[in-house]
Structure 1
Amino acid sequence: MTIERLEEAGLQWPCTSIDHPGTPILHKGKFSRGIGQFSTVEYRPLAADSTDKEYPFILTTARKLYQYHTRTMTGRIDGLNYLLGEERIQISPQDAEALELTPEDTVRVTSRRGSLETKIQITDRV
């Protein structure tokens, strides 16, 4: 793969040689287990992660477009920090209103495992 070839029309990895046309469909043909086999499992909440009066919210991590791996690697890159310079906890408009939070607020988030202070982002995105 060369920059010239990428700029020309783009390439789909893998390319096995300098002039390889690319691989737009990676998995094609016969599959050892058949095509798209899925199975279902019954949801069981972990007792330590259940909500209760003391911990009424479920906290989960999110993927961010401009940062990766809790910023341990990408947090060192000035260009990415310009695009996303700090993390914020996301909270729904309904929960923010119930807690009387505004977009300018900083909150302390405490779980059974630890605590931190962070700014908030009010959003209806899941």
Structure 2
Amino acid sequence: MDDDEDPVDPGWQRLYDALVLTCKWFGDENAFGRADFWVVDDDWGCHNQKLCVSSQAFLTPEVALAIQRCVREAGAPRAQVMIQLELQGEAGAAVPPEGLIVTADAITEYWNLERVRAIVGDDFYRSRAPVS
């Protein structure tokens, strides 16, 4: 560690590590958009995390619930995971970056889901759970 670097908060690191492991159950990580997601590795304080989604197939209600469970189990009751969309639609159409905020108690949508689906396809953010 450089003398100029601040030490990473252990609570932030615990949630970050748990979030990466949780997301890897559902997809692959790459910071340059060549996979499904990237958990940003900058500690801005308050145990908050940012998850960038670069694959329209990655984010499902099940993934959001798993992330919520991760926040609870990591012992970070006030933490937020901001999920930002970094997707391209057909013919390179830009997708608004709005996404979700996940906390231990809520999953809040900050997007126009109909608009996102119109750009990237109707299957976006649909359950992938088997139907019985």
Fold shared per TM-score above 0.5: no
* Larger RCO (alpha carbons 8 Å, 6+ apart): 2
TM-score when normalising by structure 1: 0.26
Larger Rg: 1
Q: Which has the higher helix share?
A: 2
> TM-score scaled to structure 2, two decimals?
0.25
